[in-house]
């Protein structure tokens, strides 16, 4: 498996940049940069392109609706150039809370917008004049304008990864993407994702070997079981937030994803309690076993075994979020994690 991480720099930007530089020195293969509702991804990626030499750099993710497809293409071509060909473009639809609540852009038709955005990006990357007439985008608009091409050199080899969760979005990922940035992953329930990815792959005449499966989780290593259990208890609220608080009361793709992977008996109640303001009650419904199923937390023996489960489930690239209070703590955890991934093979 390749190794990756994801960063976001709303806080402690300098320390986060130092973490990436040191992670490259440790041998990490790929760093994704998130933007969510904090800092933007392209600015950080440009900075990292100048401070690193080998590590791959990806937008994880640029959110549809925050930029036009051509503006996304401009950023991607620029970052691929600045990084010497080390850039991967990660795209995601985000959700209505961020897109409508923060950016004031309609979230409607994310499936169509994603498909058409990728089609337009392929034109941009190929150096073609951009001419597109779809349900969501029309370029150029009717009138005096004529199709244009960017003045930057073409680069059709920029990989496009999609961050998707819903069945139809997963099928689209298998059909048109080079990689899948997944989350909310329970390897024992991975068929809830892979069945749909495989349907999309088959529709485009491809196989799983043509799609990089990139999944991530926190990694924390312990040699003391009491400390491990204490750490797990602290993660219950975070998982409860993903299940109950990510998005709105009516639209939470994470909740639905966990439900499809075998937790449907509890995901609805966690959401209801969280949305009602009972955060402690929501967290109390999250068991230690649920935390362990979605993370790489445990003794080295436990995590090594868990990494094998991830590999056997079909994960090609594992995103590692190393636990630790300080930069040194996180780098120590990451260094040992990279060794464990190498041991697993």
Q: What is the CATH number of the domain that holds 210?
A: 3.20.20.30
Whether 144 and 280 share a structural domain: no
Whether 267 and 327 share a structural domain: no
Measured CA distances, 121 to 77, 91, 113, 127 (Å): 10, 11, 12, 10
CA nearest to 221, candidates 320, 317, 344, 290:
320
The dihedral sign for the CA sequence 78, 45, 136, 112: positive
Whether 183 and 248 share a structural domain: no
Whether 208 and 244 share a structural domain: no
Total of domains in the chain: 2
Assign 57 to helix, strand or coil. strand
Structure tokens at 269: 């109640």
Per-residue pLDDT at 248: 60
**Which are the contacts of 297, defined by CB distance < 8 A and separation ≥ 6?**
218, 219, 220, 222, 228, 231, 232, 235, 291, 303, 323
Whether 31 and 157 share a structural domain: yes
Q: For the whole prediction, is pTM greater than 0.75?
A: yes
Cβ(344)–Cβ(219) under 8 Å?
A: no
Whether 95 and 14 share a structural domain: yes
Biggest distance spanned by C-alpha atoms of the chain: 70
Instruction: Please report how many Cα atoms fall inside a 13 Å half-sphere around the Cα of residue 84, on the Cβ side.
Output: 9
Per-residue pLDDT at 268: 85
CA nearest to 24, candidates 335, 345, 330:
335
Whether 142 and 284 share a structural domain: no
Kindly state the DSSP code that residue 63 receives in the 8-state scheme: E
Per-residue pLDDT at 200: 98
**Which are the contacts of 221, defined by CB distance < 8 A and separation ≥ 6?**
298, 299, 300, 303, 333, 336, 337
Phi/psi at 38 (5° precision): -115, -125
Domain range enclosing 288 = 224-296
Which helix (H) or strand (E) element contains residue 56?
strand 56-59
Whether 186 and 210 share a structural domain: yes
Whether 272 and 175 share a structural domain: no
CA dist., res. 314 & res. 190, Å (int): 9
Per-residue pLDDT at 247: 65
Whether 272 and 188 share a structural domain: no
- pLDDT less than 50: residues of the chain: none
Whether 176 and 204 share a structural domain: yes
Whether 74 and 193 share a structural domain: yes
């Amino acid at each position: 498996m390749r190794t990756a991480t994801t960063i976001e720099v709303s806080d402690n930007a300098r320390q986060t940049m130092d973490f990436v530089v040191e992670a490259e020195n440790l041998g990490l293969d790929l760093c994704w940069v998130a933007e969510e509702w904090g800092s933007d991804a392209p600015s950080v990626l440009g900075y990292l392109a100048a401070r690193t030499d080998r590590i791959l750099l990806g937008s994880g993710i640029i959110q549809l609706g925050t930029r036009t497809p051509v503006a996304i293409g401009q950023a991607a071509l620029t970052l691929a150039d600045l990084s010497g060909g080390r850039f991967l473009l990660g795209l995601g639809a985000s959700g209505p809370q961020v897109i409508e609540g923060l950016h004031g852009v309609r979230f409607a038709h994310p499936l169509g917008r994603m498909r058409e955005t990728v089609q337009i990006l392929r034109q941009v990357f190929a150096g073609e004049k951009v001419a597109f007439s779809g349900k969501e985008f029309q370029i150029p608009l009717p009138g005096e304008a004529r199709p244009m091409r960017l003045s930057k050199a073409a680069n059709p080899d920029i990989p496009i990864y999609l961050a998707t969760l819903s069945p139809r979005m997963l099928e689209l990922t298998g059909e048109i993407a080079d990689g899948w940035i997944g989350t909310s992953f329970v390897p024992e329930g991975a068929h809830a994702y892979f069945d749909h990815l495989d349907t999309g792959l088959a529709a485009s005449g491809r196989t799983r070997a043509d799609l990089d499966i990139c999944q991530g989780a926190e990694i924390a290593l312990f040699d003391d079981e009491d400390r491990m259990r204490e750490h797990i208890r602290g993660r219950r609220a975070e998982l409860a937030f993903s299940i109950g608080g990510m998005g709105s009361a009516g639209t939470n793709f994470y909740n639905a994803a966990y439900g499809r992977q075998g937790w449907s008996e509890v995901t609805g109640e966690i959401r209801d309690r969280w949305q009602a303001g009972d955060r402690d009650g929501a967290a109390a419904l999250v068991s230690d076993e649920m935390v362990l199923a979605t993370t790489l937390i445990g003794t080295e023996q436990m995590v090594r075994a868990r990494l094998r489960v991830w590999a056997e489930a079909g994960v090609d690239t594992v995103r590692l979020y190393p636990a630790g209070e300080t930069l040194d703590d996180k780098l120590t955890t990451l260094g040992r994690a990279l060794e464990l991934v190498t041991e697993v093979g």
